[in-house]
Amino acid sequence: MHPSTLAWARYEDLSSDAEAATVSRFCLFSFATLEVTASPTTTNIAMIEQEHPHSWRWLVVNADGFVIDCGTEPSKTYAKSAVEMALRAELKPVASSGPGEGGEDFPR
């Protein structure tokens, strides 16, 4: 597995109170293990934290504060890798299908 290409920061090293407040809303287990990174191409942020000795929770949050992707992995390295994959996936165009192609025809 390749090392993370994102710049990760520990919770206690965040540079502003606003950043810390935003991130702390999503911490469920341990500020001591919480690490944060920002998407290089969007305003989304991502974080990891240790749930149990062999369980790391990860999530990606958009600028409006909605969790847009999350999961758990058996190690910190795998959790960081999952974040990278989730952030790469957000850049891929979403295939849409129009009326007659299995899509919904919503009134506008």
- Give the domain ranges of the chain: 9-89
Residue 11's pLDDT band (boundaries 50, 70, 90)?
A: very high
Band the pLDDT of 67: cuts 50, 70, 90: very high
Q: pLDDT over 90 for what percent of the chain?
A: 54
Helix/strand/coil percent split, the chain, to 5: 25, 25, 50
Q: Tell me: pLDDT of 96 over 90.
A: no
What mean pLDDT is predicted for residues 34-61? 93
pTM of model > 0.85: no
Q: What is the rounded CA–CA span in Å between residue 28 and residue 40? A: 25
Q: Which residues contact 27 (CB under 8 A, 6 or more apart)?
A: 11, 34, 47, 49
Q: What is the pLDDT of residue 82?
A: 96
